[in-house]
Structure 1
Amino acid sequence: MATPLHPVFARTVRGSGPGLLLAHGAGGGIEANYGPIMEGLAARHTVVGVDYPGAGATPRTEGPLDLDELADQLVAAADAEGLDTFAVSGYSLGGPVAIRLAARHPERVRSLVLSATFAHADTRTDLVASVWQQLFEGGRHAELAAYLNLMTLSEPALNALTPAQVRAAADQLAAALPAGTGDQVDLVRRADVRGDLAGIAVPALVVVTAADPLVSPSLQRELAAALPAAEVAELPSGHLPFLERPQDWLALIDDFLARH
């Protein structure tokens, strides 16, 4: 039987309090990207996230992923949990998802937190993503995992590991790559929300991962500069703040949400 074009997205719900929606990154998932800080977020918020097609328990779609669909599915999850308004946290690919959500549903969004993210893929990001996509779709998952270690960890974090530890981490990652990785990375290459930015008036925090080899800090700062009500926080981390600096990342998000 064919997979439905629009599957039911698997939903994560934790905590109580004001609503906080989570949008995850490509090749990740709610647990993979937010698990290390979930308890802290849920201590003060009703946290709701959905896994994109091919991540977590959400089946793959037949066609290419669409930013509007991902944003609307996240709002539908908020509706199902009785949340009228909410903050939205977008990590990596989740940033364009969060921005599109705010553009499509401005009356629902109180604030945005955008981490390690971009408004569009520049030439460098597209090149990185194209290698990622080719290795995954070619079944070269061990090589892809080694490539992702190189392209996601900051130089200090990578150099703190021995070559044997890096190989072990790559083996673990290769076995855990979500089935929808290729589809999600394809959306990284196509996503462009630059036209949405000027119309977003809610407070926004842009967390720049300042040692990020995957999404360059300059591209992250470019996003912040185009948002009318953005403040910037620099985090000395590679592309995986939940791995390298989880408590610092949580503290930045908590402090911002407490003020907005």
Structure 2
Amino acid sequence: MSVSVTTKTAPYARTVRKESGGPGLLIAHGGGGSVESNFGAILDELAATHSVVGVDYPGTGGTPKAQEPLELDELADQLVAAADAEGLERFAVLGYSLGGNVAVRVATRYPERVTALVLTATFARAGNRLKLVGDLWSGLAARGEGELLARLLVSLAFSPAALEGLTPEQLEQVVLETAGSIPSGSGDHVDLIRGADLRAEVARIGVPALVVATTRDPLVPLALQRELADTLPGARYAELPTGHLPFAERPAEWAALVSEFLAR
């Protein structure tokens, strides 16, 4: 079900799956995505063993676009506020892409409540490549260049093999569908990525953690994903042979990695 929760800013729409009655699991989606688009393919499996709660960031899903620049603290606080509203005192956090930064911030702001972290296709330090991509992404979004932005994102989201496996007609269809689904808050989300450096925070985290690296990811370099795993104390490390969209290319394998780790 989807409901709304209000904290100090505009209401954030949240998705709740508690039918299993299992331990809490918060899910944090990526920039330009939503709970449904990033986790919909694995939500049933996660909900089979956990009470799952996620929120849509401003300008995506059911959450209105923000009137002020977004702050990572606010995204983390909104996610925890949703957990509070659902009666979840303690929880694991699964973060994808930008959501990995949100998950890290939840762990450092609420260390006594977080039981485990799973970070997928993400980074502790954005680096120059992500800064340049973010500049393009934010600029094209601000200018309303939806189709050009879609062409950029499609070229960076899929693994080379998946992208080259498309026929010209299929490729154009994917571009059109992507252009039509870019949320109004996409540029706001990516502004949080440019210049991000959470290495000092990551190094202080003391809960069990799994880093799932997307090894054929043109957007987040594998070196940055490995750096995250090396910086996170005691983190387990796993690899998925996929581009930046594990939910599109390898959903079953991704769900299995997450479920098996959380079951421990």
What is the CA RMSD across the aligned residues, in angstroms?
1.1
Aligned partner (choices 181, 185, 188) of residue 176 of structure 1: 181
Give 4+ residue runs of structure 1 displaced > 4 Å after superposition: none
Q: Does 1:54 align with 2:59?
A: yes
C-alpha distance after superposition, 1:3-56 (max 9, x if no partner): x97111101001331100000000000001000101111111100000001111
Q: Partner amino acid for 1:170? A: V
Q: Does 1:152 align with 2:149?
A: no
User: Percent identity of the aligned residues?
Assistant: 58
CA contact (8 A) 1:5 1:62 kept: no
Q: Secondary structure of 1:202's match?
A: coil
Q: Does 1:215 align with 2:220?
A: yes
Aligned partner (choices 85, 88, 98) of residue 83 of structure 1: 88
CA distance in 1 between partners of 2:170 and 2:181 (Å): 17
**Structure 1: segments with no counterpart, 5+ residues:** none
Q: 1:186 to 1:245 in 2, by over 3 A?
A: same
Q: Does 1:202 align with 2:204?
A: no
1:141 aligned residue: 146
Q: Does 1:11 align with 2:25?
A: no
Structure 1 residue 134, shift from structure 2 partner: 1.3
CA contact (8 A) 1:112 1:204 kept: yes
CA distance in 2 between partners of 1:60 and 1:148 (Å): 21
C-alpha distance after superposition, 1:170-226 (max 9, x if no partner): 101101111100100111114321121121010110000000000001001101100
Q: Does 1:258 align with 2:258?
A: no
C-alpha distance after superposition, 1:47-72 (max 9, x if no partner): 00000011111111111111111101
Normalising by structure 2, we get a TM-score of 0.95
Q: Partner amino acid for 1:106? A: P
Normalising by structure 1, we get a TM-score of 0.96
Q: Partner amino acid for 1:132? A: W
CA distance in 1 between partners of 2:196 and 2:128 (Å): 13
1:245 aligned residue: 250
2:47 aligned residue: 42
Aligned partner (choices 103, 110, 117) of residue 115 of structure 2: 110
Aligned partner (choices 92, 99, 116) of residue 97 of structure 2: 92
CA distance in 2 between partners of 1:52 and 1:6 (Å): 11
Structure 1 residue 128, shift from structure 2 partner: 1.2
1:27 aligned residue: 32
CA contact (8 A) 1:96 1:192 kept: no
CA distance in 1 between partners of 2:33 and 2:66 (Å): 16
CA contact (8 A) 1:5 1:63 kept: no
Q: Partner amino acid for 1:12? A: T
Q: Secondary structure of 1:36's match?
A: coil
Q: 1:5 to 1:76 in 2, by over 3 A?
A: closer
Q: Partner amino acid for 1:51? A: D
**Structure 2: segments with no counterpart, 5+ residues:** 1-6
CA distance in 2 between partners of 1:200 and 1:5 (Å): 26
CA contact (8 A) 1:135 1:143 kept: yes
